[in-house]
A = this chain, B = another copy of it.
Amino acid sequence: MKTIYGNDHRRHGKHHEMSGGRMVPAVECPERAERVLSQVEEAGLGEVLPPQDHGLEPLRAVHSSAYVEFLASAHERWLAEKGHAEAFPLSWPVAATAGLRASPPPIETIQAELAIYAFANDTAITAGSWAAAKQGSDVALSALDQIRAGEAGVFALCRPPGHHAGRETYGGYCYFNNAAIAAQRHLDLGGSRVAILDVDFHHGNGTQEIFYGRGEVLTVSIHGDTRQCFPFYCGHADEPGRGDGQGANLNLPLPLGSRWSEYEPSLRRAIDRLVDFAPELLILSLGVDTFAEDPITDFGLRGEDYPRLAAMLPPGMPTLFVLEGGYDLQHIGSNVVSLLSAWEAESISAGDPRA
């Protein structure tokens, strides 16, 4: 299986996040991607290719132009205004104050503009966030190119992750929604049906939001119950989609502590749903923070469960693997690569001529 990887993610380097009321070193760090890359190479998964620049148009097909412009210039403007390396919001608009005005408020500082787009305190905008996030989207788009050129499965080794990023919101370590950008690109190039299966521990709120009113993209997320888990506020079972997207969103929240025995039935439901949907392309939002030893989550999957997950994916369906979360540096590489290797072995044994 080919892997797409670029080094620009390193420019979004060591920084901080708010966690439990304190600023702590961010768990979303360059080593995550480097560990995965090392394991890709060590396991001989396949060729590692650099991403191609796809410009801004594919970003603007998912995110608003105002949001893309904001991210492109936010850090420079923040430095000019605040002089400190990491941008975080100070206050944010709430419904009660929004109701005091007949029109949107004028915004003239980056400090105020940040919170028009931010939804969380865990996501700094650093000097390299733009470069990293932009290349992250190119990694996903370049992987899509490979799939469209005939590859059965391709691994987009994206960093930062993307599934929490909405049309014009960032948070949960995510700036651009790499999986959604690839899905939309496929449609814009003539595709008609895409499914996104999100197996990250956290609900893919951004992906859900982007396609919530759209019937041509099925979004399915298996995740820690958002009554207890980030990102809170959505991700529940009673969110089926709306309008043309009615029935095209499926949330499968699971209790804290869930192991494979609890996980497998939800995964079975998810896969049944996506087989029914019959997409031309499956995008797997691949987080391995479901791992029992992940430092920030509460599921109980073990290393041997990732090949099991791969083996359950529908054979013969072109699959784009997009890296999302996973914060246990010791195991992130082996968990990701054992899943990808198992998927490829299944595809070959199923006789897919492209695998």
Contacts and interface: CB of A to CB of B under 8 A. Distances in A.
Nearest to A231: B91
Nearest to A17: B90
A340 to B, nearest CB: 30
Contacts of A78: 21
A234 B100 contact: yes
Interface in A19-48: 19-23
Contact of A91 (B100, B102, B124, B171): B171
Interface in A64-108: 78, 82-94, 96-103, 105-108
A109 interface: yes
A169 interface: yes
A171 B89 CA distance: 13
Interface string A116-133: 000111101000000000
Interface stretch (A52-60, A204-212, A268-276, A286-294): A204-212
Number of copies: 2
A140 B141 CA distance: 60
Nearest to A103: B238
Contacts of A91: 119-122, 171-172, 230-233
Nearest to A115: B232
Given A96-B167, A100-B212, A226-B105, A20 B82 contact: yes
A239 interface: yes
B230 A90 contact: yes
B234 A105 contact: yes
A227 interface: yes
Given A91-B172, A94-B169, A97-B209, A84 B20 contact: yes
A236 B105 contact: yes
A311 interface: no
Contacts of A20: 82-84
Contacts of A82: 20-21
Nearest to A117: B94
Contacts of A226: 105
Contacts of A167: 96
A105 B232 contact: yes
A227 B107 contact: yes
17 contacts: A18-B90, A19-B90, A21-B85, A21-B86, A21-B124, A89-B121, A90-B120, A91-B231, A96-B166, A96-B209, A97-B169, A97-B209, A98-B233, A99-B209, A100-B234, A101-B236, A105-B226
